[in-house]
Amino acid sequence: MTDLSQFPITARWPATRPDIIQLYSFPTPNGVKVSIALEELGLEYEPHLVTLADADVKSDAFLSLSPNNKIPAILDPNGPDGPVTLFESGAILIYLAEKTGRLLGKTASDKARTIQWLMFQMGGIGPMFGQLGFFYKFAGAAMDDPTARDRYIGEAKRLLAVVERELDGKDWITGEFSIADIALAPWLNALDYYEAKDVTGYNGLTHVPAYVERFFERPAAVKGRNIPAPS
């Protein structure tokens, strides 16, 4: 039987199947990227719910795997040269795609374009939409000064326009379904949670709403978007 006792995280979140990928996550847009990818790729994995409370994400056990105290993170006992631990959702998506030889495109050029759009989500859509949520729906919404709120509403509109143009005539962001879509669609869908679809012009777009709906009709997305299930 595989022994994962060298990894402190397994003391707090024990593995019942230590021979398969261990996923430590919460169903946020970043978290479900990995569960959906694992479902799409048909990889066996064991999910562990790591709440966003400091008691979990700032615990010594979780920090031993994810020093930036952010979900998701994985422990793969069957890495290419021994067990692999990873944090950062984009890095995990690339690792899983390379592990299986899927969802990165067929050629080196395809791979480069896929990673390009993955980085677009990591560096643009994710951070900007996250700030939009803070200043539009959460604590920042109480600020009298509208500068930050207007800034992130405007940036969200700009980024949505980029995606809308790119999707013209295509089902998926690079033409073929890939990890770039797995990264992008959950964050586009976050505008619903942030109650910001109207203010960002989302509902007036053609391609983006259809793209998000198409993505979440995939069986892997239907299942993976709720893994790990919140308690």
Out of 53, 87, 102, a domain closes at: 102
Which pLDDT value is given to residue 1? Answer: 67
Q: Which residues of the chain have pLDDT under 50?
A: none
Task: Specify the pLDDT at position 187.
Answer: 98
| 113 and 95 share one domain | no
CATH value at residue 32? 3.40.30.10
Instruction: Count how many domains the chain has.
Output: 2
Contact status, residue 65 vs residue 90, Cβ threshold 8 Å = no
157 in any annotated domain: yes
Residue 18 belongs to some domain of the structure: yes
Asked whether residue 55 falls in the same domain as residue 114, the answer is: no
- What CATH number is given to the structural domain containing 156? 1.20.1050.10
Same domain membership, residue 213 and residue 114? yes
Burial (CB count <10 Å: 0-12, 13-18, 19+), residue 231:
exposed
Residue 226 lies in a domain: no
Could you say which of 52, 86, 102 is where a domain stops? 102
Cβ atoms of 176 and 105 closer than 8 Å: yes
Domain-ending residue, one of 102, 120, 146: 102
* pLDDT score of 204: 97
CA distance 21 to 65: 14
Contact (CB, 8 A) for 170 and 117: no
